[in-house]
Structures are given as structure tokens and as C-alpha cells.
Amino acid sequence: MEIQETPNQLEDGLFEQTKKPTSAQSVNHDSRPLGVWFPTIRCGTGADVFTIRLAKALNDRGIRAGITWLPHRAEYAPWSVAIPQPPDWATVVHINSWLHRRFIPKGLPLVVTLHSSVHDPAYKPYKNWLRTLYHRFWVKPCEAYSIGRATAVTAVSQYTADQALAFFGRQDIAVLYNWIDTEVFCPDSRHHPHHPFRLLFIGKPSIRKGADLLPRIMQILGPDFELRYTGEPKNIGISDLPDNMISIGNLESEAAVVNAYREADALLFPTRLEGFGLVALEAQACGTPVIATNGSSLPEVVANGKTGILCPADSLEAFAQAARKLLEPEDWMRFSKAARNRAIAIFEESVGVDAWIRFYGRLAQD
């Protein structure tokens, strides 16, 4: 998803510690309290959301964590950006695998998180030549260095971990799923879908996200269905969109995102590659069933036939049939309840944050 807001406490680059560390929060070898520093490129993706949520959750639990934001150009022109220095309190550096070596400090334990795998051969047909070259000759060397240099590596899904093993040979990758605040992302009180049935697409309208499939799916579905999508009509890349596609613009706050999920009857997500699929999790937490591609990480997030329906990649008719299966109120309600229950049981915030605290604790003890 596109990042929707930047909390005020991030504007100066750092969160501040709000509570005293507890015994469960560990210390590193120099006996200082655990402090996690995130030098992070702001790129407006789910990786930003991950970093913001993790840093905030650590601080809420009394573990000092801070983000130093780097401009987007640091990804492709790192020499144009000054090198940030680690804060004095930092005992662990935590980065995205794409971060250039210029910004990776020495002398501190390094945690690298893999958020996706753009090197998957299944994604190759959907990349133009320029993006293919960029991934091969720029992103891949950056990842190879950071993964090889890392004290520990994590991935947001088993799919992403398996891809990293295949392409970089790193075997000791810990899978730590993304999580959701199920008190914020929660359903409304509806017990039946809208008419017309209301589909939702949230994300960048890119080829990778399958945005080019949306107009054709909606043409098949016809007037009994409507699709609300983020962005503007021109972003889809097709000039003549069907009448049942409605732009909702850019969602500028988390509350707006939650409201969009609550007002939808199902998430339509024909993506071709996801490292995790955060929007699929957010939708389920709001009781919104998911219609998505049966590939990459999505089977780990969506329980096919229970919390959503997974379809063969690029199959327009399969996506349309999946939407029709949710028309009946009883069927829709069954999927909605199951989606909410799965989000709470597996992806609730306390589960995810506890896993990260245990992970940092083990790192400090090694």
C-alpha cells in the first residue's frame, strides 16, 4: 500500500523513548539497553509502514527506537545524500535489504529485513527492460552486500525467505510476519454487502499490482458491481475506463484507509508479486474478504476459500467468478467473520511485536 501518513514524532528523524526498559527487553554485549536505529529511505511503500509501526511499537514497550529518514533518491543516487551517523544510544542497526552500503555503519550488529523479491522469474514478464536492468545490476548487488554483511536476516513471509535462499544462498533467515492493530483496523456493524457489490483496490496502480487487469475485470462484472480504487483515472493507464470504476483519490490518513476497507465488500487485488501483502491483511482485519492472486506470499496471508478467494494469475474470468461467489449475504458474512478472526489469531499486533522483541533479545545474546 501507499503510505498514508507520517506521525509528527517522525519529522525530526527519531522517536524518543517513553518508558524505562524492562528485563524482557535485553541488552547487548556492551551492557547498554537495547536501542534500535532504522536508517530508512522514504519511498511511500509498505516498507515505510513496517518501519513506522515497528519503531512506534518498540517505543510503546519501552525500547528506544528511532528512524532517520533518507530521501528517495538515496536508493538510486546514494552518493548525493549525506551519510547519517548512528545515535549514541543505538545498539542495533535495522535496515531494508535495498539500502546501499554507503549508509550501513560498521561496528554495530546489523539486522536486514527482506520485504519482497523482485528477482522472482515469475515477475520477469511484467517488467520493462529498464526495470529489469535496474533490479539486476543495482538492486541485486545492494541486497547481496547487505544480506552477506548482516548479523541476522529476516523476511516478512516464507515465500520471500525462500527467494532469498535461492538467489543469495542465505539459509538462516527468520520469517517474522507483518502484523496489524486489530483495534484500529476493525469492521463496522454491517451484516450484508452493498448493492451494487462494492469492490476496493488500494495501492499503486502499477503492472506489478495488476492494475491493468482492473478495467477488464469490471467490464466482465457489469453494473451489479463497482470498484473503488485509489489514485486518479489517468494512473490506471487506460483512457476509457468502465463506468463501474470510481476513483477515491489518495487516502491521506490511516483513518481514511480504515474507512475505505469498512465501506468495501471485498478487496480486489490481482497483484503479480507481493513480499507479504499488507493490504490483504488490513482488509481482513476490517472483516473485508480478499479476492487476490494465488501466488507469491498471498497464500500465507489469505486462507483460500475461508477468508478470501485466490485466483490464477491474470485470469480475468476467475477474478470475476470469485466476486460473484461473495454476492449472497450469508456467504459474504461467513467470509467476513473468518477474515477478521484469522487476522486476530495470527497477525494481531502483540503477536508480531512480541516476536520482534524476542528476536532482538536473541541477537543480543549471540
- By the 8 A CB rule, do 132 and 118 touch? no
Instruction: Verify that 130 and 247 share a domain, yes or no.
Output: no
Q: Are 23 and 167 in a shared domain?
A: yes
Residue 30: per-residue pLDDT: 58
Q: How far apart are the first and last CA of the chain?
A: 35
Residues 168 and 202 reside in one and the same domain: no
Average pLDDT over residues 311-320: 97
Instruction: Reduce the DSSP state of residue 281 to 3 states and report it.
Output: helix
8 Å CB contact between 298 and 278: no
C-alpha cell at 100: 546501499
In a domain, 287, yes or no: yes
Residue 46: exposed, middle, or buried by beta-carbon count in 10 A (0-12, 13-18, 19+)? buried
Highest mean pLDDT among 25-39, 81-95, 352-366: 81-95
* Average pLDDT taken over every residue of the chain: 90
CATH code of the domain in which 42 resides: 3.40.50.2000
Confidence band (pLDDT; 50, 70, 90) for 19? very low
Residues of the chain with pLDDT > 70: what percent? 91
Same domain for 59 and 85, yes or no, is yes
Question: Same structural domain for residues 151 and 59?
Answer: yes
| Predicted local confidence at residue 25, as pLDDT | 39
Is residue 72 domain-shared with residue 159, that is, in the same domain?
yes
Quick check: is 229 in a domain? yes
pLDDT of 20: 36
Give the residue, 60 or 17, on which the prediction is more confident: 60
The answer to whether the pTM exceeds 0.85 is yes
Question: Mean pLDDT throughout 143-160?
Answer: 97
Number of domains into which the chain is organized: 2
> Residue 22 — very low, low, confident or very high, per pLDDT cuts 50/70/90?
very low
In a domain, 188, yes or no: no
Q: Are residues 159 and 251 in the same domain?
A: no
Q: What is the pLDDT of residues 221-242, one digit of tens each?
A: 999 999 999 987 777 777 789 9
Range of the domain at 336: 197-347
Q: Examine the domain organization and report whether 132 and 46 are in the same domain.
A: yes
Diameter over CA atoms, the chain: 65
Looking at residue 234, its pLDDT comes to: 73
pLDDT, one tens digit per residue, over 23-40 is: 333 334 557 899 999 999
The pLDDT confidence band at residue 6, using thresholds 50, 70 and 90, is very low
User: Which helix (DSSP H) or strand (DSSP E) does residue 29 occupy?
Assistant: none
pLDDT at 366: 65
**pLDDT tens per residue across span 90-137:** 999 999 999 999 999 999 999 999 999 999 999 999 899 999 999 999
Lowest mean pLDDT among 12-21, 189-198, 283-292: 12-21
Does the structure show a pLDDT above 80 at 172? yes
pLDDT for residue 17 is more than 90 = no
3-state secondary structure of 74: helix
Domain-embedded: residue 190:
no
* Mean pLDDT, range 75-98, rounded to an integer: 96
Residue 215 confidence (pLDDT) above 50? yes
